[in-house]
Every structure is written in C-alpha cells, then in structure tokens.
Structure 1
C-alpha cells in the first residue's frame, strides 16, 4: 500500500469525485481540487457571500497564497460533488450562503444566499442539478434548481441531519415532517419538481430516523429514545408491520440496517442484541446477542503488541491469531443514569449481505463480523431457522473510531483507532491457509509513514482502490499496490 504526502484540510471535508478522478478538499474558506493520480492542484476557489473569487495562481502550488487563518465563521462547513462530477458546492452554514462552481470552467460560479431562516446543512440531490438546503429551527427544506434557478419549499422537516432519504433511483424523496403536532411522512416526486404524491401520519412517539429499502419498496421508521419500535411502511403509505422486542428493553432504537436483498432488516438498541426481521410477516427470525464468550469456530484476531514502537510506525504487521473458544472483557453501563453509553455503535452489511459488521459500546476496541446466510443457503435450508454466526473478531488496543466496508469488494474492511495507523481485514486472499472453508482471512496493522498523524476517520474511494485517511486538520491517501505481471 502506497501513501501520499500529508495535506491540510478543515472540517473533515475531503471527497473523491464519483469517478475517482479528482479529489476535493476544503481548507478554511478555500476549495482545492486535485488530480487523484498525481495530486496536482488543478482548481482553487475562495468562497464568499458575494460569489467566488478564482485564484488561478494557487494552481501552481499550495504555498502561493498566504496561510494566514480566516475567521472560523467564514469556513466551509459542507462541500460535495454533483453526481456527474461537473459541479461542486461549498456552503458556509454560519453565514448562510452557498457557492457553486463548475469544474471545467473556473470562471463560472453562482451563489445561493439564505434568508433569516438560516442554513444548517446543504447537499446535492441525486440529479446533480438541485441542491437541498435545510434551514434552522426545522422551518423548511429548500430545493434549489440550477437549471431553472427556482426554489421549491417543503415545510416543517423533523430533523436537519437525518429523517430523509432518496430512493436508490433518485425518483422519490422521502421526508419526515411534523404537522399539527403529529409526525408524518411526505413522499415527493423529484421528476415533477418535488410534487407531493403521498402524505401520511406515522405512529411514532419520538421519531428518530428512517431508511428506504435497497429495492425501494419499503420505508423503515423507528422511535428513539423513548420507545423501542420499528415500523415498516410501503412507499405509498400502507403499514406493513411493526416490531418491538418482548419484553421491551426501552431506550429506543440506535441502528437499523437493510440487507442488500431487502429481505431482512437488522435492528439494534441499547441492550447488546441484534434482531433480524424478515420481510414476509415483518417478525423476528433471529437474535444475535453480544457475549463475553467467543464460541468455537470464530476467528479471533488481536492487534500485535507494541508493534508501533517496534516498527516505528512503518510497514505492515499481521494481527496475532488466537485460538477459539476464548473470552473478552465487556464494560457495562449504568442504565439508571441519563444518556447511558450502551448498546450498538455501528451496524452495517457488506455489499453482498454475506457479512454483518457490529460495534458495541461495551466493547469499544472490538469489531465483530457475523456470517449471514446467502439467499441460496436460506432457500436450501428453508426448514431450518436463520442463524447468523460470529465469524471473525478483531481486537485492538485502542477504541475503534471508524470502520468502513469497501464499496466494491465484498470481503474488504478498513478500520481506524485514532492513532498513526490503519487496520485492514480481508477474506479475498488466494492461497492463504485457513481452517474453515470460507477462504483465507488476513488481518494487518499498517503504519502511516508520517509523524504526528492520527487516523480518526476513513473514506473509501468510489472504486474501492484507495482510502482517504483523516486526522484532526490534515489528511493523506493510501492506494493498493497492484502486483506487476512477471
């Protein structure tokens, strides 16, 4: 794996373009666009409320402009690429303005200035020609069209950071709203200028969030933190089913993950249990519970002791492989205190749905990977209950801060723990000897060749061949080294 130099960034805004050809970075009030192959700067813009000032001389190098700090209330808070990589938006939420730039024409720009309602968040719609702007105080969502220049207003969204989603094909926009003191769902037709096509109340006491199934047919809606309930609606508004564990563990739902086939939903809360719900009766078919006892058959990987000091933070070191069964230590929170740190931290399927990643508050240094049956295996054993099993456990010396599945490969995972390294797990290696019949696993600790760099977050490139490693105010990229043919 090759690493780039260390570059500056602010607000954690570093994004590959959808085609992985370019890299966007925000540095205070500037946008910097680099080529992803050479990291040469090709565009730089300064963001301001009156439009944009192109600074072409910066393209010759990052030191050509003064590095003096600008006021933090003028810094870029949100930025992103349009779906076709033609346009880039940069928003300053504190000042309430958005600038839009065109990659192939550095002189073209337009701006959006929010009124007294303020700005909390701005992002691209899937069509790449509309921008969603969320106002303060939950007043409205404004959809600005770059084609017509006209806004579309949707009033009273429940949340600004969650509670909305687009169907995978981008045709419908689903938004949680509050009207006359009741929670409701609005479904809007994107192709008809966000015309309202469905509006229906939902039985939530304290709406938390929603998620659309991968096939676009269902919407999962859940409560939190007052009640542990998940409701499944069709996109048109018919209630398909509801789920609440018996007995109700309380404290609400913390995470919901759809299986890529849309046949199952994984639900988890504060009680260290993962409930698997199927899409026929919308009832539970399996429960996965965190235990300090790791059963026989699970592969246990432990970060090598003192490897950072031994290697001076350079090179690759394999995890230590432990024998199962084994045991791990779990911390328990006091549920009688407010906002207890308990239950699930992360719940996510890989792209094929054959592996389910879980992280728990009571085991912050550990990543659990559960083997999930494929559709063929489920159909072949229709008489047997669905039973996800613990396949792999990755134990680290520091709490995990980020764990991300590769977006293109089913058996590739990257992990960060807030120190000068990254951790890679894969089951795609050919020729690796392993006791099980699922193919060889490999787990490696990889040092970042830089001083005073702490990997706090990870972002995969869209093609799955590169990684952005984010520290507090800097970043670098890491790319796989392809073996040359002999």
Structure 2
C-alpha cells in the first residue's frame, strides 16, 4: 500500500466524497477540500459563526491559521451531500450550520438554530435537505435548500440512534416520545415530510431502531434492563418479537439485518448471537463465543514485536496456527454496570456471505463466520431444516492489542481492514488466487506498518470505491491506497 503525508484534522471529521474524487477535512473552524488523486487543496472555507461563511484562498491561509480559534467555534459535524455538490459544516455549540457548494465558491447558505441549540446536523438522502436535531429532544427541523422552508417534528427520542430513512429515501422513520409513551412516526420525504402514520410502540423505554434493507420492517428493542426485540411493519403492526428462553439479565447490545433482509441478528451482554428468520421471526441458529478453536477453522495470529523489528515500514504476514487453539476470554463481573462482555460489533460484508463479530470478553480477536446464502425458497419452514442455515466459524484473527475498529470493504466481498490503535493496520482477504492449477482463492492476512514516527490509527474508513482507506489519529490523518500493479479481484 502507498501512504500519503500526514495532515491535520479535528474531531475526527474526514470523509471521502461519494464519488471518491475529493476528501473533506475539518480543522478547527475551517473546511478543507482536497483532491483524492493528488491531495492538493482545492477549496477552503471558514465556518466560524463570527464570519459570514467566506471562502479563504490559499494565499490567506497563513493569516487564518495564526488567528486563535475558540473551541466553541470548532466544527462538530461535516458531511457531503449524496451527489457531492454540497457540503455542510455545523458548529453545534453555537447552533450554526453552514452549507457550501463545491463548484460555486461564491454560493453559501446558513442555518441559525437559535435558542433551542443544536446537537446534530446531517443530510437527508435527497441531498437538498438538512436534518437539525435540537437539544433535550425538543424537535428535529428539516431545512430545504430548494424551497427555503423548514418542517418541524416534535420530540424525537434519540438523535443518534432513534431514526432512519427507508433505503430508497422515500420515508423518514423516527421514534418519538409523546405523553411519556414511545411512538413511531412515518414521514413522506417526497411531500415536504408530511406525516403518513403515527402509532404507539410496545416498548416501555425504546433503546434504538433498525430498518430492514428492503424497507418493509423496523426492528425496535427495549432499554438496557430487558432483552426483547419487536419487529413492526410500516403500518404499525407488530409482526414478531423475540426474548431468549433464559433471560440473560441484561438488555440488547447489538442488532443487525442481513443484507437480504431475511435474517435479523440480535446479541446482548452474554456473548451469544441469536439469528431470527423472517417467516416466523423465531430463532434458527445460535452463535456463542468459543474459547477453544478447532478444525477446520483457520487461526491467524499477529507476530510478536513485528512493528518494532520492521520500524513501521513494509508488511508482514500473520502467523497461521494449527488448531486446536485456545483464546483468552475474560470473566466479566455482572454485579457491576456495563460489564466487559457481550458483542460490541456485528457486521456483514457487502454480499452477506461473511459475518464479522467482536466480543468484549475477547477484545484482541476478530471472528469471521461463513454465512449461508438465503432466498425466499431457502428460508426453512420446519425447525429441523434450520441446521443448514447455521453459520460456521471460518477464521479467527488474534492480535496483540485490543481491536478498536474493523471495516469491510464496501465493494469487494472478501476484503477487511482492522485497526488496534497502534502504528499499523491489518488486512485480511480470501480473494487471493495462488499459482497452483486449482485456481481456488485462499486466505491472506497481513500486518502493514504505517511509515510515520508518531501515528496511531484509532479509526479506519474505506473510500466508497473500496480502493483507499482513511486512517485517523487523535489530531491527524493520512490515507492508504492499494498499489494497482495487477488486476484486483471483485
């Protein structure tokens, strides 16, 4: 991989444009746009509420840097519209959202939230509307760049996890709290967010919601003290619910849909993953954290002290261990709040054939399961037929330090990047084709050093085309790109 130079950033705000042609960066109160091929600066704007969203040319950047910026004027949210034409930069502490146009440097707009203050701002899927969440769950305001008008939705429940758009962007589905009751509102985004349906929820304290990939169902679940998930359709009918036979004593920690929408995975604090199917919304398989790994699972282990030996330059293959192999699993104290256990991440690759799971009881390990393909006729109607749908543990990657981030490639189905908060990243793939006559793909796991003296990758993010990675440190970032010396598998 080729690495770029290290650049400044603040608040972890670095993002590729949807077309992967530009990179947006926030540096205190400045928005910096770079070309993704050369990393040359093409645009720089000031987003301070004391300025009138004026563009800063490259000649005046030195004077802008020398001026002290108060922390309450720093950018807290910044993102691209879905067509890369616009970008927003919000300062939540001052209740200001600035909107810029990439190809018209003289155009800008501003939203002043006012006394209600601001918690979060983001684009709607149409790329021409902005959602602004106010403090204390008072309301969410949708501002339209086309009409210049706004629409209000009162009392949103959770500004970070209590809403979502249907995959086609037509409807906004948002959890609300009215008269001490959990409710769900469905709003038509194509008609200025007109209320379509509004109905009560069976939850007592809703923790979060997740919309199915086909947009037909919404999964909602209870707060931290009750393990119960409900599945509703957009008409407000409860079509299914699930609670384990043995109550684990704590609530749900992770919920994820299979990309096909046929399965719903639910996990709590007891290191178990329940797999529900769509016909009856009953469990068809159960995955549990294993401390002893046997055949035919492939076990990869990070070589000891490899980063010091290579001085962060070059790459080195994982060590492939011969099973059986034992993994250190911690024993959490369930008498205390937030025990160090449970599933901290569940994510599918782009094709839904591989499932990644990370458990807090085994923080240095990444578990990869081979997930069976599913279609309407594959979903079992009998309990005994569910055996064929049970995922199988395929590979385990063991690291020296706890894993802080693991991301699937958004384009390639067999490509994974991992970070452990150190001066390296880790790559896994099952797409490598050997030189033997079989032509079958094999697994490859590599440790890649970041060629920098002081840089620890605290987070990683793929480019939309899957050809590059953003590596984030606390106050800096760099990018890594694949060397295209040969045709890459797809």
* TM-score past 0.5 threshold: yes
Q: Contact 1:224–1:251 at 8 Å: present in 2 too? A: no
Q: 1:353 to 1:438 in 2, by over 3 A?
A: farther
Partner of 1:120: 119
Q: Contact 1:206–1:226 at 8 Å: present in 2 too? A: no
Partner of 2:273: 274
Tell me the secondary structure at the aligned position of residue 309 of structure 2: helix
Cα offset for 1:351?
1.0
Cα offset for 1:63?
5.2
Q: Contact 1:433–1:440 at 8 Å: present in 2 too? A: no
Partner of 1:315: 314
Q: Contact 2:262–2:374 at 8 Å: present in 1 too? A: no
User: 2:409 is matched with which residue: 389, 406, 411?
Assistant: 406
String of CA shifts for 1:177-232, please: whole Å, max 9, x gaps: 01111101101000010011111111112211111110111101111201101100
Q: How does 1:10-409 map to 2 (within 5 A)?
A: 10-49=10-49, 51-58=52-59, 65-375=64-374, 379=378, 383=385, 385=387, 386-409=389-412
CA distance in structure 2 between the aligned counterparts of 1:377 and 1:371, rounded to whole angstroms: 19
Cα offset for 1:305?
1.1
Q: Normalization by structure 2: what TM-score?
A: 0.95
Partner of 1:470: 472
Q: 1:64 to 1:20 in 2, by over 3 A?
A: farther
Runs of 4+ in 1 over 4 A off after TM superposition: 62-65, 432-435
Q: 1:423 to 1:19 in 2, by over 3 A?
A: same
Cα offset for 1:295?
2.4
CA distance in structure 2 between the aligned counterparts of 1:215 and 1:85, rounded to whole angstroms: 25
Tell me the secondary structure at the aligned position of residue 308 of structure 2: helix
CA distance in structure 1 between the aligned counterparts of 2:386 and 2:278, rounded to whole angstroms: 17
CA distance in structure 2 between the aligned counterparts of 1:281 and 1:48, rounded to whole angstroms: 53
CA distance in structure 1 between the aligned counterparts of 2:379 and 2:251, rounded to whole angstroms: 35
User: 1:456 is matched with which residue: 458, 474, 477?
Assistant: 458
Tell me the secondary structure at the aligned position of residue 106 of structure 2: strand
| RMSD of aligned Cα (Å) | 1.9
| Equivalent pairs, count | 482
Q: Contact 2:424–2:447 at 8 Å: present in 1 too? A: yes
Tell me the secondary structure at the aligned position of residue 137 of structure 1: helix
Unpaired runs of 5+ in structure 2? none
Q: 1:373 to 1:312 in 2, by over 3 A?
A: same
String of CA shifts for 1:124-149, please: whole Å, max 9, x gaps: 00000000000000000000001111
Cα offset for 1:105?
1.0
Cα offset for 1:170?
0.3
Cα offset for 1:116?
1.2
Cα offset for 1:381?
8.8
Q: Normalization by structure 1: what TM-score?
A: 0.96
Unpaired runs of 5+ in structure 1? none
